[in-house]
Every structure is written in structure tokens, then in C-alpha cells.
A = this chain, B = another copy of it.
Amino acid sequence: MGRSGKGTLPARAGPAVVLVRPQLAENIGMAARAMLNCGLSELRLVAPREGFPDLRATRAASGADEVLEAASVFPDLASAVADLHRVIATSARPREMTQRMVNPRQAARECAAAAAAGQRVGVLFGPERTGLENDDLAFADTLLSIPLNPQFSSLNLAQAVLLVAYEWSQTVFEASDETLVVNSSRPAERAELHNLFEHLERELDASGFLRVPEKRPGMVRNIRAMLQRAHLTEQEVRTFHGIVSELSRKRRGGPERD
């Protein structure tokens, strides 16, 4: 059923993305791109209005050709979901039916758990203008609602696919850790930091430390990165100013302290 054999995707099977009566071929392509970004490969299309394949879809996919080439087209939703064990329907509006409702993170957990148990899951996305109809939702065991700004929740089709696929991907791709502990006292503002950088670099220029022109930009960047990693407090910035001034004073032949 349209699984990619090119070996560029993670081993764990992700959910199938089922676009129900998509209106614009371009959105099919953008959805395919978002899927492949997140490691999903199985695209199912139910009665796409502009037909399929379509050059506009291919262009919008920006290179996610393997997803489009492996996509399956179905005449109706019943046949598109027939071999699945779980069907999750995206829905912005609350409906009169009583169904399970989950958010994308919980849906991703359930997709991962189902895949681990060898079950096939599909996530349904409705037409751009109207979303899924009640008759479509009746094919699903679970509804998926993306919690967004209630005053401005209208999401482009490909963006909805991206968010759902992204949450799934986070169960698969290793999430990088944070590395350094953050100081809890009041951090310096950027302007304060940049004053310090400029002070230090001025003195380093004067001392000859930054004398090789072709090396200077990289050295400055690394010094700034190093100091920013320290998450300096406003107090520490002032201390550092004092250190730079003190060191420079001595080099310039100012009076020695006793």
C-alpha cells in the first residue's frame, strides 16, 4: 500500500496520511513535503478534485517525489481505510457525536504504540474549505483537535499535516538535549553584553591579540559565542568590564597596584 522502498525513512512505520477530497493539487504536494520532512511516507488520496498525479503537486512537493510516486488514490473513504486498524480524524469543530478526542501529542503516542503492536493507523484530513463532514468522522474511532489560538485557528491543510506529522516524528527522531545549566539571577540584556564585547575586542585589537586580519572574524565570533554560553548576569558583565579595564591598564603601563 504505497510504502517507500528507498530506505530514506525511519524503520518504524508511521501512520498513513489520508487526504479526503483535497481541493488543490498544490496542497497535496505541500502535504507530501511536510510528511517526508517528518519521516512519513504513506499518502492516501480520496477523490482529489484536481485529479492525481498533477504537475502542480510535484512542484509543490519540493523534492518529496517518493511520497507522491507511492501515493494511492481511492474513490471513497471506506475503501481508503478498509485495511487500517485505527482511524483518527482531524477536526477543528466540536461535533454532536460523542467520540474520543485527543491532541496531536497524544495521537502521536497512540500511533507509535499501534505501530509497535503491528497495527496500521490512518489520520484523516478534510477538504481545505470545509474540513471533514460528519459522514467522514463516522469512519474514525478518535478525533484529533489541534489546540490553537481560539480567535485565529484556521490552519492551511499542509500546515495541519505538518503539525500532526511533526508530533509523530518526535516519537521517532532523537530529540537533542539541552546541555548547559542556566544561571538563575537576572541575565544581562543584549545591549549590555554587546557593550562588553566591544570593550573586550577594542582592547584585544590594541594589544595585538587580533592582529591577523583573516583570522579576526572567526576569533571574534568564537569569543562572543563562548561568553554568551556563560549566560552572564548584569553583575558579571560589570565585573568583566572591570577585568578587561584592569588588564589593559597594566599593559598600557598604568600605575601598578601594590
Grouping DSSP codes into helix (H, G, I), strand (E, B) and loop, the A interface class, with mixed when no group exceeds half, is: loop
Residues of B within 8 A of A217 (CB): 135
Query: Shortest Cβ distance from A254 into chain B, in angstroms?
Result: 31
Contacts of A134 in B (CB 8 A): 221
> Are B84 and A189 closer than 8 Å at their CB atoms?
yes
CB-defined contacts of A162 to chain B, threshold 8 Å = 159, 162-163
Stretch at the interface among A31-39, A42-50, A240-248: A31-39
Shortest Cβ distance from residue A115 to the other chain B in the assembled complex, whole angstroms? 13
Known pairs A152-B36, A222-B97, A226-B98; A147 contacts B119 (CB<8 A): no
The smallest beta-carbon distance between A79 and chain B, in angstroms, is 9
A170 at the interface (CB under 8 A from B): yes
Least Cβ distance of A233 to chain B in Å?
11
How distant is the Cα of A97 from the Cα of B231 in the complex, in angstroms? 16
Q: How far is the CA of A121 from the CA of B101 in the complex (A)?
A: 33
Proximity string of chain A (79-106) to chain B, C-beta cutoff 8 Å, 1 when within and 0 when not: 0011111110000000001111111011
A12 contacts the other chain (CB 8 A): no
Contact of A101 among B135, B173, B176 (CB under 8 A): B176
CB neighbours (8 Å) of A148 from chain B are 37-39, 169, 173
A190 vs chain B, min Cβ distance (A): 5
CB proximity to B under 8 Å, residues A133-179: 134-135, 137-141, 145, 147-156, 159, 162-163, 166, 169-170, 173-179
Q: CA of A87 to CA of B106 in the docked complex: distance in angstroms?
A: 30
Q: Is A123 an interface residue (CB 8 A)?
A: no
In the bound assembly, the distance between CA atoms of A89 and B148 in angstroms comes to: 24
Q: Report A104 CB to chain B, min CB distance, Å.
A: 9
Seen from chain A, the residues whose Cβ lies within 8 Å of a Cβ on chain B are 8-10, 33-34, 36-39, 62-64, 78, 81-87, 97-103, 105-106, 110, 119, 134-135, 137-141, 145, 147-156, 159, 162-163, 166, 169-170, 173-180, 182, 187-191, 194, 217, 220-222, 224-226, 228-229, 231
Give the top 4 A-B pairs by smallest Cβ distance, nearest first.
A8-B151, A97-B225, A147-B173, A39-B149
